[in-house]
Structure 1
Amino acid sequence: MSRDDALARAAAYFDDGHFLEALSRRVAVRTESQNPASGPVLHAYLGEHIAPQLTQLGFTHRILDNPYAGGGPFLLATRSEPDAAFSVLTYGHGDVVRGQEGQWRQGLDPWRVSVEGDRWYGRGTADNKGQHTINLVALAQVLAARGGKLGYNVKIVMETGEETGSPGLREFCALHQEALAADVFIASDGPRVAASSPTLFLGSRGFFNFSLRAHLRDGGHHSGNWGGLLRNAGTRLAHAIASLVDPKGRVLVKGLLPASLPANVRDALQTITVGGDPGDPAIDSDWGEPGLTPTERVYGWNTVEVLAYKTGNPDAPVGAIPGHAFALCQIRFVVGSDSGNFVAHIREHLLAQGFDDIDVQPEGEPMAATRLDPDDAWVRWGLDSIQRSTGKVPSLLPNFGGSLPNDVFAELLGLPTLWFPHSYPACSQHAPNEHLLGSVAREGLQIMTGIFWDLAESGHDVVRHRAGFQSPPAGPT
């Protein structure tokens, strides 16, 4: 069989309803990692819904406990060939956010796939059950079309805690680093730039949460008796935040910004447009770092966001000067930022501005920023493969605007990372009415079938080139 035959098989699998059936079975499993009682369900998803498919494809697998106490289990699987030229590592997560039953539009059930035109509603359809199902189905089509021979090894790690911050993922991969050794990482999560635009992204922005607290005194004091005499915690905290980010969203603390926007990153972003699809919010053109395009601001720069703010008693306000105010803030940051010293930079800045009454503390576990060099040989190879499968010029994001545990694969395991997303920005992931677009899923099946086919045909050339053995590969042929 040829490459075109394999892509046709993938399209037929979708058109015949087999993909819908497979996804429906997986969506029905309530893998809510935010629910402490979900441990047995998470284990069952791996053991009863993923492992049997992998066994049919010639994988050996193990379901292993999380080294992090209370974390969900992992699946580690390997498909080896005796004369394999290289190894590919792929990833997915079987957990979802809470179903939010009762909040979905009438007629929709988060645990049942409901098809309305191009929209396939259900929890996990977009994040991430639909995406890893696409990839496993595509791999199956290539194996069938090539008579069970790929010419490379495939390794899979699937976690069940991504929606709670991937607890234990780094420790697990460190423990099994030898078993996970590979030459390239290929996976799918997150959204495309737009529904109609096949996308390749090479990493993700990191995030860092921090709290700001003004605790000036215990309790409130009558605003008529004490107004004008006592510092207002809410006012002090508001001005402290305003010293970090201006009224138009520009970050004012140099230590919270990246050193630069690299030229090859800027070049890659020139053809990308953010927003504009139905359901997308209107972009505030004058918000954020001046001198940057909207695309550069979300994919190439850092932002400081206020996620929550509280002072006094918002539910039942009274005429009292609050003594305490709290804000939870977040920095989304790119490669080249001094993320290890964000708190120190904030504290130094606030003290210099006279805010010695504001306490700054890190909150939760941060996630590192990652970005494969857009000039890497794997990037050209991946873009060429997408274009050959779809006839479209794909969008290249050096990193996408959200965050993923990509640092585990890029830094701990030292792999070039290629992400091929099969969702789109308005998919309502993490919210009621989450959905996958059938058209994107069908195209995604063909993209990933092309990727796995082209790995067999030309992946070894890329591996050799990166090792310095030959001139740059021409891309899939």
Structure 2
Amino acid sequence: MTSPVADTPQTPGLALRSVDPQDLRDAVTTAFPATVEQLKELVAIPGIAWPSFDPAQLDRSAEAVAGLVRAAGLDDVRILRCAKEDGTPGGPAVVARREAAPGKPTILLYAHHDVQPPGDPALWESEPFTAVERGGRLYGRGAADDKAGVMAHLGAYAAVTQVLGEDFGVGVTFFFEGEEEAGSPTFRLFLEAHRDLLAADVIVVADSSNWKVGVPALTTSLRGLVDGTVEVRVLEHAVHSGMFGGPVLDAPTCLARLIASFHDETGAVAIKGLVGRDDAQVDMAEEDFRRDASVLDGVQLAGTGSISSRLWTKPALSIIGIDAPAVDVASNTLIPSARAKFSLRLAPGQDPDAAMEAVRQHVAENAPFGATVVFTPGEAGEPFSTDTSSAAAGTAMWALGEAWGVPAVETGIGGSIPFIADLLQVYPAAQILVTGVEDPDSRAHSANESLHLDDFRKAIVAEALMLAKLNETGLG
């Protein structure tokens, strides 16, 4: 088992000459109680970009974030949005820009202020939109994902401008999206509409996770995503299960057989043509994964290879919804059709279109008992892999190690951030860094979402150090 701390050296040869790092730490620490209170105020606003929720709350969230950006010293703060393809308005994004001094780089700091719905309130130990501190963590919807990312950017900017004053010449653009949890439906249109306003040399996306509490990470890869639905039809209409059952299998049974074909006997994805490799540089103990994922005792882990590779560099297919009669209203009939939605995470290097076609081919070749199978493709998102040799990546690794006091690790993330592909296409010369404030127990999207407060403070320190270093050395 690889030790992520002992085996990962810090980036050599980096140090701040023009400013004492302790001054930045002190500035962040002094302001930290106020930063946490501001985060609590943001958590109290249920800004959800889904069409079934009140859009006024999303507007409230944008206005509150815009107010915090103005308080940080930026004058030109805008709330912008683009229309969706159907003409309805997209989520409100907060954008503000400070121009770079001659010879200095421009850094785009991205996070999103919208949040996931709270889900079943009975599963929460406290009110989801009332931030509560317990055991060194802050609980509440958006406390980690991603209002903490918003506050990390603002806290770092406040610290570095306070310490460096007029000597800070780096250009900074804040871009706080308002529809990420709804799939960023207008993101590409937004980039195209505001290409010059958002142009940057380095883009920092603060929407990921650290390795564990006490060990920071730079996310160097993300899986891509394709999804869609598979419908199985066996009858023109429902018929009596006693009168006709036996010669024909019902649609849910046929659908179950088709779903079972997606994985082999080890639980690995069995769809031909998908990219996957077992080359993660660090690994986690099985007991840690089982605890973080809340795996029940006796349940065997699926797939082969290291756990980290199974999470980061191999495909993973899940069935995330099934349309069939609910048990409580089921009658004794053979069901004529049943439908399932699949979600397929893609390894870095996988073309999403090729992956979608691979699923289509698999479904066609594995239709059980000659059932009619209708495949409907859904969304598709590119995987991401960063250039770890870039100047920005080296600076980020150094800053993370300095802030935490232990070497940072390079990790993948099993999740997807499809809009990063849009950033790469619109700004191909930009160096993209994916950072975050979460840890394996943050439970983003789930009940009892939380933020480790001391790691949050260190994340702010790390970004302040990175901004100060880029101010000193640029990207040379």
Same fold (TM over 0.5): yes
Are 2:123 and 1:92 aligned?
Answer: no
Residue 156, structure 1, aligned to residue 174, structure 2:
yes
Secondary structure of 1:460's counterpart equals coil
Whether the 8 Å CA contact 2:212–2:439 is kept in 1: the answer is yes
Q: Which residue in 1 is equivalent to 2:222? A: 204
Query: Which residue in the other structure is 1:53 paired with?
Result: 69
Are residues 1:270 and 2:282 paired? Answer: yes
2:458 is aligned with 1:443: yes
1:63 alignment partner in structure 2 = 79
**Partners in 2 of 1:274 and 1:382 — Cα distance?**
29
1:348 maps to 361
Q: Which amino acid aligns with 1:58?
A: L
1:333 offset after TM fit, Å?
0.5
Deviation at 1:101?
7.3
Among 33, 40, 44, which residue is 1:24 paired with? 40
Residues 273 and 295 in structure 1, CA contact (< 8 A), matched pair in contact too: no
Matched residue SS, 1:67: coil
CA contact (8 A) 1:42 1:95 kept: yes
Q: Which residue number corresponds to residue 96 of structure 2?
A: 77
Aligned length: 449
C-alpha change, 1:218 and 1:400, in structure 2 (3 Å) is: same
* 1-structure distance, mates of 2:363, 2:420: 32
Q: 2: CA distance between counterparts of 1:242 and 1:426?
A: 30
Contact persistence 1:192–1:421 (CA under 8 A) = yes
Alignment of 1:162-241 (within 5 A): 162-241=180-259
Instruction: Classify 1:109/1:431 alpha carbon distance in 2 versus 1 (closer, same or farther; 3 Å).
Output: same
Provide the rounded CA distance (Å) in 2 between the counterparts of 1:342 and 1:316: 37
What whole-Å deviation, never above 9, does each CA across 1:271-309 have from its counterpart, x for those lacking one?
Answer: 55577176542498964443x201001011111111123
Rate the CA distance shift 1:203–1:67 in 2: closer, same or farther, 3 A.
farther
Match of 2:155 in 1: 137
TM-score (norm 1): 0.87
1:254 aligns with 2:272: yes
- Aligned mates of 1:218, 1:444 — CA distance in 2: 58
Query: Normalising to structure 2: TM-score of the pair?
Result: 0.87
Going from structure 1 to structure 2, the CA distance change for 1:298 and 1:111 (only over 3 Å counts) comes to same
Shift in Å, 1:213: 0.7
Q: Contact 2:268–2:302 at 8 Å: present in 1 too?
A: yes
Amino acid of the residue matched to residue 446 of structure 2?
A
Compared CA separation, residues 114 and 323, structure 1 to 2 (3 A): same
The amino acid across from 2:282 in the alignment is: Q
Q: Distance in 2 between matches of 1:96 and 1:225?
A: 50
TM superposition shift of 1:247: 4.1
1:411 to 417, 421, 425: 425
SS at match of 2:387: coil
1:282-297 aligned at under 5 Å gives the runs: 282=295, 287-290=301-304, 292-297=305-310
Cα distance, 1:55 vs. partner? 5.5
Preserved contact between residue 76 and residue 157 of structure 1 (Cα < 8 Å): yes
- Residue 359 of structure 1: aligned partner: 374
Aligned to 1:426: 441
SS at 2:288 equivalent: coil
Q: Map residues 333-344 of structure 1 onto 2, 5 A cutoff.
A: 333-344=346-357
> Taking structure 1 as reference, are residues 416 and 111 closer, same or farther at Cα in structure 2, changes over 3 Å only?
same
The answer to whether the Cα contact below 8 Å between 1:86 and 1:460 also exists between their aligned partners in 2 is yes
Residue pair 1:198, 1:394 contacting (<8 A) in 2 also = yes
SS at match of 2:122: coil
Long gaps (5+) in structure 1: 462-477
Unaligned runs of 5+ in 2: 1-18
